[in-house]
Amino acid sequence: MSKNVLIVDDATVVRLLLRSVLERNGFNVVGEAANGNEAFAKYKELSPDLVTMDITMPEASGIDGLKMILGFDPQAKIIMITAIDQRKYLLEAIKSGAVDYIVKPFEDDRVISALEKALA
Amino acid sequence: MSEQELKVIEMISRMSIDRASQVFSKTIKAGSKIEIVRFQRVDISEISEEVSKEDKEATGAIVQLSGEAPTKLLFIVNLKDALKLTDLFLRREIGETKAFDIYVESTIQEIGNILASSIANVFAKGFNVEMSPEPPVVLSDYSSSIFNTVLMDEDYLTDNKILLVETKFFVVRTAFDCMLFLMPSVEATKVLLERSFANNFS
């Protein structure tokens, strides 16, 4: 059975691109959100198997969204997909409970292997 | 700022732009090069006048890099070429996007974000300067109007002059009229110089 994914990114084109990559590879995109607050609301509503989360977003960042979701469901699987390639952010995301960290611009294979590994 | 200090800032800018160039190629999946065509302290009234002479409809992403070395970035594209960039970003045939829409706006937003992040990454990794981009603001207007929005910030001015790093883009097989401007604040130049000399970068 295909796994349900929630895509979180403030850029419409990134959500569109990720949706296309995921659906081509057998994942089911159940929802999209454009900031950390929306991500938390959608997570509670949709209970996805996995979340892909950008970091730089308005209102509430991806790190805020990550903490909110994991505070609600400590078993949540969240992969950060961000253009920020800095140790400080990587460590904060991993310490806060992210299962992987992918730097944009992403390769499709890297995204798919990260999702498969997280869901194995 | 002395000649030597200005040279150091120019070298840091070149390193940052080279990295942005690599990231841009990967983003649009096409060979490209971003080249610095001007590194200069310029009078804001002169640069405003210069930009208004070549005024055209454009879309631009303004990104504030926050942290220890506040810097502004403006990625600006001629409206017609923004449509081509959208096709490349979405891996479509060039010409598929016919008119300005939310996807074009979002493409410029995301490219601004990726370029700004790559520059912040160079500052952080190479010079131990903590930086992160704020979410980009996208404006569609005449290029002079977009440019003037970025210029009006006292934190970036000394004697009514701003340090401007102007670049041009060269993309294989496709002509693009787009530019990237980097504007380090007065504070940013101080911090970058301190960290550079602390790391014997001179």
Kindly list the domain boundaries of chain B, sorted by start residue: 3-198
DSSP code at position B54: T
Residue A21 scores a pLDDT above 90: yes
Q: Which of A42, A43, A32 minimizes the C-alpha distance to A9?
A: A32
Q: Are B19 and B119 contacting, i.e. CB atoms less than 8 angstroms apart?
A: yes
Residues of A with CB below 8 A from B97's CB? none
Look-up of token digits 């030597």: B4
CA distance B128 to chain A (A): 10
Query: Beta-carbon neighbour count of residue B131 at 10 Å?
Result: 25
Q: Does B63 touch chain A (CB under 8 A)?
A: no
Q: Between the CA of residue A49 and those of A2, B28, B36, what are the distances in Å?
A: 10, 30, 46
Q: Does A11 touch chain B (CB under 8 A)?
A: yes
For residues B106 and A12, give the distance between their C-alpha atoms in angstroms, rounded to a whole number: 6
Residues of B with CB below 8 A from A58's CB? 135
Q: How confident is the model at residue A74 (pLDDT cuts 50, 70, 90)?
A: very high
What domains are there in chain A, each with its CATH number? 4-119 (3.40.50.2300)
- Mutate one of A56, A59, A90, A102 to test the B interface: name it (highest B CB count within 10 A): A56
Q: Does B112 touch chain A (CB under 8 A)?
A: no
Q: Does B27 touch chain A (CB under 8 A)?
A: yes
Q: Does A84 touch chain B (CB under 8 A)?
A: yes
Show the 3-state SS of chain A: CCCEEEEECCCHHHHHHHHHHHHHCCCEEEEEECCHHHHHHHHHHHCCCEEEECCCCCCCCHHHHHHHHHHHCCCCCEEEEECCCCHHHHHHHHHHCCCEEEECCCCHHHHHHHHHHHHC
Q: Does A94 touch chain B (CB under 8 A)?
A: no
Residues of A with CB below 8 A from B133's CB? 56, 83-84
Q: Does A56 touch chain B (CB under 8 A)?
A: yes
Q: Under an 8 A CB cutoff, do A17 and B113 touch? A: no
Instruction: Check residue A37 and give left, alpha or beta (phi > 0: left; psi -120 to 50: alpha).
Output: alpha
Phi, psi of B199 (to 5 degrees): -100, 15
Q: Under an 8 A CB cutoff, do A86 and B23 touch? A: no
For residues A65 and A71, give the distance between their C-alpha atoms in angstroms, rounded to a whole number: 10
Tokens of A86: 């800095």
For residue A50, the model assigns a pLDDT of 98
pLDDT, greater one: B200 or B173: B173
pLDDT, greater one: A42 or B183: A42
CATH class of B3-198: alpha beta
For residue B201, the model assigns a pLDDT of 55
Q: Are A95 and A66 contacting, i.e. CB atoms less than 8 angstroms apart?
A: no
Residue B28 scores a pLDDT above 90: no
Residue B200 scores a pLDDT above 70: no
- Average pLDDT estimate for B43-47: 83
For residue B164, the model assigns a pLDDT of 83
Query: What is the per-residue pLDDT across A75-109, written as a single tens digit (0 to 9) for each?
Result: 999 999 999 999 999 999 999 999 999 999 999 99
Q: Which of B145, B165, B2 minimizes the C-alpha distance to B71?
A: B165
For residues A18 and A82, give the distance between their C-alpha atoms in angstroms, rounded to a whole number: 13
For residues A34 and A42, give the distance between their C-alpha atoms in angstroms, rounded to a whole number: 10
